[in-house]
């Protein structure tokens, strides 16, 4: 059995997003078990993997349980040394680990006042001084990483690493709340919003359609600031170009239409996550 990753809601659970990116973005095999935040305390939903009590929580194929995202990053790097979670250069690696640890332990105002909500793009937000101070510190860290180790790539240390997985939800918060940042930070946020893995995670949240009122904020909403997805819609009838689901290989039962073409999937979730952002899914993009 592959590693099993226990996750919360795709739209709101920033920590879950980090855990998923630490697996997905590095091509590691895993399966998912979802935990609903509306079904009681997370710890009570994880009795089979004690002492795990939070999401994300990783149960490895050999039975180990890792229930902290920073510990997950380090354990995955140990178990999969060629995956590239950390920079190979010692100075860059030390800085990347320090930046991850600061993200893991800091920025309380940003977390509290600007929760991640991947289905909302707020307008006219008036951030507190504490939030602006958090953002300023984040910009400092990002700027130093890019200046010292960024090279030509869009990520903090050139190629995508664990540090980028940790800051993906921060980028989502900045974008979702329209927080003011400079050119370097704005480009880094844009890289996350355009990243296909980020977009797949967001698309799964849209497909699930869960809305948790406690994460909403009283600001006016506008248009999501990431790339506009290809137009697509679910349909009830039609002739699919494909006989098998591009994800599972199972027979087609649910249909979508995009650009006048019809494609099929094995269930509503496979269809709906594709409707949300067709080009983010390599298996479906291959059909196109």
Question: What's residue 36's pLDDT?
Answer: 87
Quick one: 238 and 263 in the same domain?
A: yes
Compute the average pLDDT of residues 23-39: 93
Question: What's residue 41's pLDDT?
Answer: 85
**Percentage of the chain modeled with pLDDT above 90:** 92
Quick one: 8 and 106 in the same domain?
A: no
Quick one: 191 and 268 in the same domain?
A: no
Residue 12: band (very low, low, confident or very high) from pLDDT cuts 50, 70, 90: very high
Quick one: 248 and 282 in the same domain?
A: yes
Asked whether residue 223 is assigned to any structural domain, the reply reads no
Structural domain ending residue among the three candidates 154, 183, 199: 199
Q: With 90 as the cut, is the pLDDT of residue 43 above it?
A: no
Q: With 90 as the cut, is the pLDDT of residue 82 above it?
A: yes
* Total of domains in the chain: 3
Residue 48: band (very low, low, confident or very high) from pLDDT cuts 50, 70, 90: confident
Asked whether residue 39 is assigned to any structural domain, the reply reads yes
Read off the pTM: 0.96
Least confident of 25-39, 121-135, 173-187, 263-277: 25-39
Quick one: 58 and 15 in the same domain?
A: yes
Asked whether residue 209 is assigned to any structural domain, the reply reads no
Structural domain ending residue among the three candidates 79, 101, 134: 79
Question: What's residue 203's pLDDT?
Answer: 98
Q: With 80 as the cut, is the pLDDT of residue 251 above it?
A: yes
Quick one: 8 and 32 in the same domain?
A: yes
Quick one: 116 and 162 in the same domain?
A: yes
Quick one: 117 and 41 in the same domain?
A: no
Of residues 24, 11, 16, the one with CA closest to residue 160 = 24
Q: With 80 as the cut, is the pLDDT of residue 284 above it?
A: yes
Q: With 90 as the cut, is the pLDDT of residue 1 above it?
A: no
Q: With 90 as the cut, is the pLDDT of residue 257 above it?
A: yes
pLDDT tens figures, 173-215: 999 999 999 999 999 999 999 999 999 999 999 999 989 999 9
pLDDT tens figures, 100-153: 999 999 999 999 999 999 999 999 999 999 999 999 999 999 999 999 999 989
Asked whether residue 206 is assigned to any structural domain, the reply reads no
Residue-range definition of the domain harbouring residue 105: 90-199
DSSP-derived secondary structure for 84-143 = -SS-SSHHHHHHHHHHHHHHHH--HHHHHHS---TT--EES----HHHHHHHHHHHHHHH
Asked whether residue 216 is assigned to any structural domain, the reply reads no
Quick one: 109 and 150 in the same domain?
A: yes
Asked whether residue 239 is assigned to any structural domain, the reply reads yes
Quick one: 55 and 98 in the same domain?
A: no
Asked whether residue 212 is assigned to any structural domain, the reply reads no
Q: With 80 as the cut, is the pLDDT of residue 51 above it?
A: yes
Structural domain ending residue among the three candidates 149, 175, 199: 199
Q: The domain spanning residue 153 has which CATH number? A: 1.20.1050.10
Quick one: 105 and 154 in the same domain?
A: yes
Cα gap 99→85, rounded to integer Å: 14
Asked whether residue 214 is assigned to any structural domain, the reply reads no
Quick one: 194 and 142 in the same domain?
A: yes
Cα gap 83→22, rounded to integer Å: 10
Q: With 90 as the cut, is the pLDDT of residue 17 above it?
A: yes
Question: What's residue 47's pLDDT?
Answer: 82
């Amino acid at each position: 059995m592959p590693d099993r990753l226990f996750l919360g809601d795709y739209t709101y659970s920033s920590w879950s997003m980090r855990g998923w990116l630490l697996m997905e973005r590095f091509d590691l095999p895993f399966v998912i078990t979802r935990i609903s935040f509306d079904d009681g305390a997370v710890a009570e939903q994880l009795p089979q993997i004690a002492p795990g009590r939070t999401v994300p929580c990783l149960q490895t194929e050999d039975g180990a349980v890792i229930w902290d995202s920073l510990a997950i990053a380090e354990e995955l790097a140990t178990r999969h040394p060629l995956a590239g979670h950390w920079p190979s250069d010692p100075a860059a690696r030390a800085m990347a680990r320090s930046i991850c640890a600061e993200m893991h332990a800091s920025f309380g105002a940003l977390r509290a006042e600007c929760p991640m909500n991947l289905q909302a793009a707020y307008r006219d937000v008036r951030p507190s001084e504490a939030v602006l101070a958090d953002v300023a510190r984040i910009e400092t860290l990002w700027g130093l990483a890019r200046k010292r180790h960024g090279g030509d790539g869009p990520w903090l240390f050139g190629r995508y690493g664990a540090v980028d997985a940790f800051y993906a939800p921060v980028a989502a918060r900045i974008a979702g709340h329209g927080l003011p940042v400079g050119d370097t930070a704005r480009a880094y946020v844009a890289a996350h919003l355009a990243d296909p893995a980020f977009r797949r995670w967001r698309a799964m949240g849209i497909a699930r359609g869960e809305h948790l009122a406690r994460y909403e904020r009283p600001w006016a909403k506008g248009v999501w600031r990431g790339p506009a997805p290809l137009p697509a819609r679910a349909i009830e009838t039609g002739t699919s170009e494909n006989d098998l689901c591009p994800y599972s290989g199972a027979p087609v039962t649910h249909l979508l239409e995009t650009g006048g073409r019809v494609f099929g999937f094995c269930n509503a979730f496979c269809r709906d996550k594709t409707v949300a952002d067709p080009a983010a899914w390599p298996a479906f993009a291959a059909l196109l």
